[in-house]
Amino acid sequence: MNALPQVQTPREGPAAGVASSEAIIASKAVGKIFGETVVALEDINATIRRGEFVSLIGPSGCGKSTFLRLVAGLTFPTSGTLDVLGQPMAGPRPEIGMMFQKPTLLAWKSVFENVMLPVTLAKKGRTSKADREKAIDLLHLVGLEGFEFSYPSQLSGGMQQRVALARLLNTGAEILLLDEPFGALDEFTRERLNVELLRIQREVKATILFVTHNIQEAVFLADKVFVMTPRPGRLAEVVDVDLPRPREIELMKDDTFNRRVFEIRDILGGTI
């Protein structure tokens, strides 16, 4: 029956009943300077709506990871205002979860215990049977049936990232920040995980910010692609990806898909 878990009920938000077009992340003239002189981000104006899938793309040093960390509350803007869920960012929040290029799994914990980590931390170790069942469900959702009690060292890189994804989902966050999560994987594994990420997003209905420097990946996944350019990090353009969902890998043969890819390549021009 209920084979796939209801990972989260999208919260009604501060203003209950607001339509899905509500801005969940609003960046107004956000800038970030490291030290005295290193301008990582300059004048970022962007709006992300609930349930949107946004890819951030650009060459190294364009500040895309910095922007993600601002939204995560791991660092703060030096100018401008960044509102998340209707409030100015003031540090990490339970509604926001993050995943990295490295799986960042704990080698001494089993896959199951790694996925349980967000709940273990939030509940100070007092987890319930329902929590444990949900972790198992999430592991099945990301396709790790049969590996629930393996250890990270026994898994391939792609499977380790699946564990990291299940752990991210188990935070219960409604905004998921993914920093080049599949960047270290081979092309085939990456494509398969891209398709599965879209399936999982349909399932959990989260808002996703996805950093990558692969243009095809960015277009394939996203509703909107934020194209960023470096020195200083700026948001050069927002490209709407008007392609239907659900998407399968064949979409990459589609004309519109390829037009979007080349459009982005043109914007980035010589910067890559």
Partner 1 sequence: MSVTDASAAGRAKAAPAIRFPLWAQHLLVFACFIAIWEAAVQFNWVSALILPSPFAVVGAWWDLAIVRGIIWSHFFVTLTEVLVGFAIGASFGVGIAVISAINPIFRRLVQPYMVALQVTPRIAIAPIIVAWLGFGMEPKIAIAAIICFFPMFINALTGLMQVDYENQEMFDSMRATKWQVFRHLQLPGAMPVIMAGFKTSISLALIGAIVGEFVSASEGIGVLIQRFSFQLLLPQAFASLIMLTFMGLVLYFMATFADRRIVYWQHEDLVARISKKARARHSDLLGKRSA
Number of residues that bind partner 1 (CB under 8 A): 37
In terms of CB distance, is 75 or 271 closer to partner 1? 75
| Helices 129-141 + 157-169 axis angle, to 10 | 140
Using CB under 8 A as the binding rule, whether residue 262 contacts partner 1 is answered as no
Which span sits near partner 1 by CB under 8 A: 131-139, 213-221, 228-236, 252-260? 131-139
Using CB under 8 A as the binding rule, whether residue 107 contacts partner 1 is answered as yes
Q: How far is the CB of 118 from partner 1 (least distance, A)?
A: 5
Using CB under 8 A as the binding rule, whether residue 132 contacts partner 1 is answered as yes
**Could you say which DSSP state residue 173 is in?**
-
Closest CA to 237 of 44, 60, 78: 44
Using CB under 8 A as the binding rule, whether residue 191 contacts partner 1 is answered as no
CA distance 126 to 116: 11
Using CB under 8 A as the binding rule, whether residue 230 contacts partner 1 is answered as no
Q: How far is the CB of 93 from partner 1 (least distance, A)?
A: 8
Closest CA to 21 of 47, 56, 54: 47
Site for partner 1 in 41-100 (CB under 8 A): 69, 72-74, 91-94, 96-98, 100
In terms of CB distance, is 102 or 231 closer to partner 1? 102
Query: Other C-beta atoms within 10 Å of 230: how many?
Result: 17
Query: How wide is the angle at C-alpha 204 spanned by C-alphas 48 and 198, nearest 5°?
Result: 75
What is the end-to-end Cα distance of the chain in Å, rounded?
48
Using CB under 8 A as the binding rule, whether residue 213 contacts partner 1 is answered as no
Rounded to 5 degrees, φ, ψ at 258 are: -70, -30
Q: How far is the CB of 156 from partner 1 (least distance, A)?
A: 15
Using CB under 8 A as the binding rule, whether residue 106 contacts partner 1 is answered as yes
In terms of CB distance, is 108 or 262 closer to partner 1? 108
Using CB under 8 A as the binding rule, whether residue 8 contacts partner 1 is answered as no
Work out which of 148, 196, 203, 223 binds partner 1, going by CB under 8 A: 148
Tokens 């509703």, residue located: 223
Which span sits near partner 1 by CB under 8 A: 11-19, 30-38, 117-125, 255-263? 117-125
Query: How wide is the angle at C-alpha 105 spanned by C-alphas 60 and 158, nearest 5°?
Result: 65
Please, are residues 55 and 68 in contact by the beta-carbon 8 Å criterion? no
Helix, strand or coil, per DSSP, at residue 135 = helix
Q: How far is the CB of 269 from partner 1 (least distance, A)?
A: 31
Please, are residues 242 and 256 in contact by the beta-carbon 8 Å criterion? yes
Using CB under 8 A as the binding rule, whether residue 205 contacts partner 1 is answered as no
Q: Is-cis flag, bond preceding 232, omega within 30?
A: yes
Using CB under 8 A as the binding rule, whether residue 130 contacts partner 1 is answered as no
Please, are residues 163 and 113 in contact by the beta-carbon 8 Å criterion? no
Residues that bind partner 1 in the complex, under the rule CB under 8 A: 69, 72-74, 91-94, 96-98, 100-102, 104, 106-108, 110, 112, 117-118, 120-122, 132-133, 136-137, 140, 148-151, 153-154, 171
